[in-house]
């Protein structure tokens, strides 16, 4: 799936409802992320849907609504490319902090597939396109499923 040392995760998403929430900004990279996530969700047997938001800044609120409306997990996908202003740092922090808050508040998984990049080529190398070294959309989907499975087990576990 990814670079050296990353685990291969086999997941069974049967019975899970998962929403992919993806930014519209930089469609070549984002579409690659969506393709990887969709492939993993389909192979796992999870029911899934896709919603699009304008950019990475809007991911947390859409993920929160999806989880509040019954999704077992969400996969948040977006692209933030460094520019010549502090905007990169603001949006990166807002998206990361917001998605963390959503996961903690909902008690449900948020598969994190927001790429923070110095340039477009870094993104193309990480989205599972032909010639890519990594597939971050697939990794985010696998992590969401694996965490949903774990949380289901923990909720049914007796610590007595």
Residue 24 DSSP class: -
Question: Does residue 126 have a known ligand-binding role?
Answer: yes
49 annotated as ligand-binding: no
Is 81 known as a binding-site position? yes
Say if CB 18 and CB 144 are below 8 A apart.
yes
> Residue 25 annotated as binding?
yes
Q: Strands 73-81, 17-23: parallel, antiparallel or unpaired by DSSP? A: parallel
Asked whether residue 6 is marked as a ligand-binding residue, the answer is no
- What are the DSSP calls for 99-157, one per residue? HHHHHHHHTS-EEEEEEEESSHHHHHTTB--TT-S-BHHHHHHHHHHHHHHHHHHHHH-
47 forms bridges with which residues in the sheet?
17
Q: Is 56 annotated as a binding residue?
A: yes
Q: Does the annotation mark 48 as catalytic?
A: no
**Annotated binding residue 84:** yes
Query: Per the residue annotation, which of 15, 87, 105, 118 is the catalytic one?
Result: 87
Annotated binding site: 25, 56-58, 79-81, 84-85, 112, 126
Annotated binding site for 5-amino-6-(D-ribitylamino)uracil: 25, 56-58, 79-81, 112
Annotated binding site for (2S)-2-hydroxy-3-oxobutyl phosphate: 84-85, 126
- Residues marked active site are found at 87
């Amino acid at each position: 799936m990814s670079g050296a040392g990353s685990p291969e995760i086999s997941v069974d998403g049967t019975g899970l409802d998962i929403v992919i929430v993806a930014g519209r900004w930089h469609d070549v990279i984002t579409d690659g992320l969506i393709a990887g996530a969709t492939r993993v969700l389909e192979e796992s047997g999870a029911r899934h849907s896709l919603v699009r938001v304008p950019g990475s800044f809007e991911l947390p609120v859409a993920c929160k609504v999806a989880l509040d409306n019954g999704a077992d997990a969400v996969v948040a996908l977006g692209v933030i490319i460094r520019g010549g202003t502090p905007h990169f740092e603001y949006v990166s922090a807002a998206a990361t902090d917001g998605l963390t808050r959503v996961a903690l508040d909902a008690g449900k998984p948020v598969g994190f597939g927001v790429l923070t990049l110095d340039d477009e080529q870094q993104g193309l190398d990480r989205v599972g396109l032909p010639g890519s070294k990594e597939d971050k959309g697939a990794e985010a989907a696998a992590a969401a499923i694996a965490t949903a499975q774990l949380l289901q087990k923990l909720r049914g576990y007796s610590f007595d």
